[in-house]
Amino acid sequence: MLLHAAFFFGALSAATTIGSFFGGAIRARIWIGLPLGVILIALVAWNATILSQERDFELALSGIAFLATVITRLAMRRWSWLGSQLFATATLASLGYLLYAGSITYAVAQDLVYLVASSLLLVLELAALALSLSYLFEIVDTLSRRSDAAHPSDPSHLPKVVVQVPAYNEPLEVVGETLNALAAVDYPDLIVQVVDNNTPDRETWNALKALCEKLGPRFQFMHLDNWPGFKAGALNEATRRLPKEVEIIAVVDSDYVVQPDWLRSMVGHFADSKVAFVQTPQNYRDWEDDQYLRGLYYSYRYFFEITMPSRAHRNAIIFAGTMGLIRRSALEEIGGWNTDVVTEDAEASLRILARGHAGVYVNRAYGHGLMPLSFDGLKKQRFRWALGGVQILRLHWRRLVLPGQGERLTVAQRIHYLLGNVQWFGDALMFCFTVLLLLTALSTAMHHQLPIRRMTGVALGLPVAFLATGLVRAVWAMKLRTRCSWRDAIAGLQVWFALSWVVTLACLRGLVRFHTTFLRTPKVKEGEGSALTAVRSAQVETLRRRSRRARGRR
């Protein structure tokens, strides 16, 4: 019965997903969404009745689905009806499966080894389904609303601003574009602070210093030699040396070209004394003609088009560093950037929100940087991001989980930061399930039974269906928000899969060791290294070869 219910709700969730695809139905108002949702429930119930011959049971499940949709719609008043139905039915399907798996686990337990192993499997399934629902929540929360969160900006508020440009051994032709763009920024009271951190070659940083002198008094150059704390330590020292009248600190990576109106458009948000930081999307250039870079570009866009708008509705965004602005007093209030965390920007935003401040997300790109041109560079970047997420969990889990430990964090902020960092473990969970399925297949072929609940037959179909519909929804959400093609959205998904092993290793590293070396993302293409590295890079490099063949045919 429980498995039957899980399949019913899973089928209804899939049907609602398909129904939401067409004509922007996911955002349809209630007088369109409600009838469409009822029709989808009726169609699934009709087909289920034909298969099961249990009309009363299917009607009861239909009533539960409708009631759950009503409750979800009342709880999330700005969601559309179809969005509410999609999330409600996916949640019911997950609960039904977990109840079924739990009943099987403990009803047929044969011995202690079986009980422990099957209980661990149940915990893995619970974690996987919770992560799946967290992704779905972000998608529905963003797509089913008719508008994103907005915050007023006062254009007359023009405090003194510094733009900090951290650099390490950067090619002058790359950072030169960044500084020339900053020289053209339209803002009356601005300092550009170029912070060269531990560049070993004197000729390299002297050339950068000369460029700053050429660009005029607005530009200040600082070289830090043998400085501890990596990028965070360098920025802390740069902030310490700022004039006292500087109120706002903006951060720009050394490969970004910003628009002249960036600061005038963003600084006005700080007229609200509650606002501690403002973040705009990180965007990129020179990607249109390469299929690998196209896929990579849209894989980046997902976070800023789906995740950040969702978090913005509950004042739970992260400060993502480059193309962000932060109030100096708020940064100094928390003691500056944490030099022990490789994603010091995201970690700082959690501490700032815990003090009761607010963050603002403006979903408009004001600058474009360079993406990693080699897979080695991409792996280093993603490893650092995943490791930073695990470090944040290790450092702040009490603040996120324990009652009374969150200072002024709201429940919604805790949930967003907790699940947002736990999501990095999704690849590790996928790896565990893959290994388990391979072991199950091997033991079945050898006519042996593993001491664990079997993941075969009908019981395996539902988790696989959850995974498949989840991937379809992610690709659909990316296509809808970024207006890319299906091909580009799928290429973005391929990039995520290609990095799964890297993310898994980063999570394991973060669990066993907190401190690590800062992995810099190169701004120019580097060699691919060993044959083993080339093999690991195969998935993403396949996209490059396809792109080259396509250009050759043209």
pLDDT confidence tier of residue 340, bands split at 50, 70 and 90: very high
- For 53, other C-beta atoms within 10 Å of its C-beta total 9
Other beta carbons within 10 angstroms of residue 386's beta carbon come to 28
User: Tell me, what amino acid is at 150?
Assistant: A
Question: What pLDDT, in 10s, does the model give residues 424-458?
Answer: 999 888 888 778 777 776 776 777 777 777 766 66
Q: Tell me the two tokens of residue 194.
A: 């170029």
Percent of the chain at pLDDT > 90 equals 71
Non-local CB neighbours of 340 within 8 Å, separated by 6+ positions: 391, 395, 514, 515
Per-residue pLDDT of 228-262, as tens digits, reads 888 999 999 999 999 999 999 999 999 999 999 99
DSSP 481-538: HH---HHHHHHHHHHHHHTHHHHHHHHHHHHH-S-----PPPSS-----SHHHHHHTH
Q: What is the pLDDT of residues 93-141, one digit of tens each?
A: 999 999 998 888 887 767 888 888 888 888 888 998 999 999 999 999 9
Tokens 């997950």 locate to 94
Residue of 354, 367, 265 whose CA lies nearest to 316: 354
In the chain, how long is the greatest CA-to-CA distance?
Answer: 82
